[in-house]
Amino acid sequence: MRTLGLKARIGYAVGDFGLNLYWQSLLLFILFFQMDALGLSAVDAGISYLIASVWDACMDPLMGILSDRTRTRMGRYRPYILFGTVPLALSFWLCFSPPDFLLPGSLGMLVFATLTHMVLRSCYAVVAIPYSSLTAAMTRDSDERASLTGWRMLLAFAGSTSVSAMLPLLAGWFGSYSPAAACVGVLAVLAHLACVAAVRELPPPARDSAAPPPGLRADLGGFLRGVLRNGPLLRLLAATVALHLSLGILMRNIPYLLKYDLGGDASLAAQTLTWFSAAGILAVPVWVWVARRWSKAIAWQAGSAMVVVGGIAFAFAPAGAFWPTLACLTLISFGHAAHAVAMWSMLPDAVDYAHWRHRRRDEAKVYGLASLIFKLALGGSAFLGGLALDGVGYVPGATQAAATLTGFRLLAGLVPVLGVGLSMLAIAGYALTAERHGRIQQFLGRRVAAPAGREGP
């Protein structure tokens, strides 16, 4: 097995630092910006977010197909990161730069918010799907992948922490989100260039590189048939839907709670969101150790239990109580880090499982499908969250009623508890342990040496 050096691990992880500068902004700030700065209603902003998410979800598998069929001297995935990073930064800046001639809350402003968000999501897919596929392309060893994912999650949370503090503070300093978004984009470009320079891809399996690629229709048909017979992947996707459809509502309620319940300004929001992300950074080494010591499934279940406890406590914390709220968010963040570590190290193992069962290696297509499911769930959570905010009486920019503030907490606390519980049921039957994955890798190695072999793990 290939052992990755520290330069490759950190270089790979720096790429997710850059991606999470954008992704955390989409999770925490884009809806808040569209409602408070662009004047959109909660329902209109939720619909706009859902449209962009569905568009993004459709882009991801297409990007997976394209990058899996790419062959260059740089590899299949790195060219997309290299040439996609500047358009991604520009599209992010555009989302936070509305033209002056559009009236707040107007149809034109809604169209602007939706179209610019769709452009951003398209550019994000061009970089993110090839980047995520590198986990399976850099090493075949399950423990190496867990370690690589741990480094990735550390820098991902660092990116989340940075932008959680940086974007609102820079916006307050400049008096506008537009120059703040430009600064974030420059930092992300530097991170992606460093990633491209540091990582290398393993060559495709000899059997795949010797044979011409199948036609597009046959390729897609074989991939979809393999997915339907890939039990570990299907369980992971089901858990992802349940988790992010519900947990996304918590993430989008945090800015409202900070502003309207705790009476916070940009400084308080930056401090709280920074601590929320920092808790994830501290948690990552713990969950990597749990995944390697026991299993990735056990890490998922233990982290889920923490989220459940934190969500219930958060829902019933007293209104206006800062420290209890911060303690609950910290516990939720610590537990949720287990999902990131487990998911992104389980996916490449599912790629190997399909390679063993169906003689197909669809790295980017699997990541594209997982990203489609993930983003549809987040888009659904934004739409449902917008309806829920409207249902509890939220009025943008106004003092909220006591019943509305209570509704914020119940939505953000109890809905995630339900979703996380369902994800635990899905992962309970996950059978691709480290031992079994090791046997699969041994068999794949023998298959390369003797393709006619029939023994399995």
Residue 273 has pLDDT above 60, yes or no: yes
Rounded-to-integer distance, Cα 250 and Cα 270, Å: 17
Residue owning tokens 């989220």: 307
5: left (phi over 0), alpha (psi -120 to 50) or beta: beta
* 377 within 8 A of 245, measured Cβ to Cβ: yes
Band (260; pLDDT cuts 50, 70, 90): confident
DSSP string, 302-364: HHHHHHHHHHHHHHTSPTT-HHHHHHHHHHHHHHHHHHHHHHHHHHHHHHHHHHHHHS---HH
In this predicted structure, what is the pLDDT of residue 447?
A: 60
State yes or no: pLDDT of 455 exceeds 80.
Answer: no
Query: Looking at residue 176, what DSSP letter applies?
Result: S
Query: Which pLDDT score, from 0 to 100, does residue 454 have?
Result: 41
User: Percentage of residues in the chain with pLDDT exceeding 90?
Assistant: 39
- Check residue 453 and give its pLDDT: 41
Residue 44 has pLDDT above 70, yes or no: yes
CA dihedral sign, ordered 443, 445, 449, 452: positive
- pLDDT at position 262: 77
pLDDT in the model for residue 214: 65
Region of 72 on the Ramachandran plot (φ > 0 left; ψ -120 to 50 alpha; else beta): beta
Question: Mean pLDDT score of the chain, rounded to an integer?
Answer: 86
Q: Lowest-confidence range among 59-73, 207-221, 370-384?
A: 207-221
What pLDDT is stored for residue 205 in this prediction?
Answer: 61
Residue 448 has a pLDDT of 52
Q: Which amino acid is at 101?
A: F
pLDDT above 70: percentage of residues in the chain: 91
Average pLDDT over residues 138-150: 82
Higher-pLDDT residue of 224 and 258 is 224
Of 101-110, 111-120, 202-211, the least confident: 202-211
Please state the rounded mean pLDDT for residues 136-150: 82
**pLDDT for res 54:** 85
- Quick: pLDDT tens for 330-374: 999 999 999 989 998 898 888 889 888 888 878 888 888 888 888
pLDDT reported for residue 209? 46
> Tens digits of per-residue pLDDT, 173-218?
999 999 999 999 999 999 999 999 999 998 766 554 445 566 777 7
Strands (E) across 186-269 are located at none
User: What are the sequence ranges of the domains in the chain?
Assistant: 6-449
Q: For 429-452, how does the pLDDT look when each residue is reduced to its tens digit (9 = 90+)?
A: 898 887 888 888 888 776 655 544
* CATH class entry, domain 6-449: mainly alpha
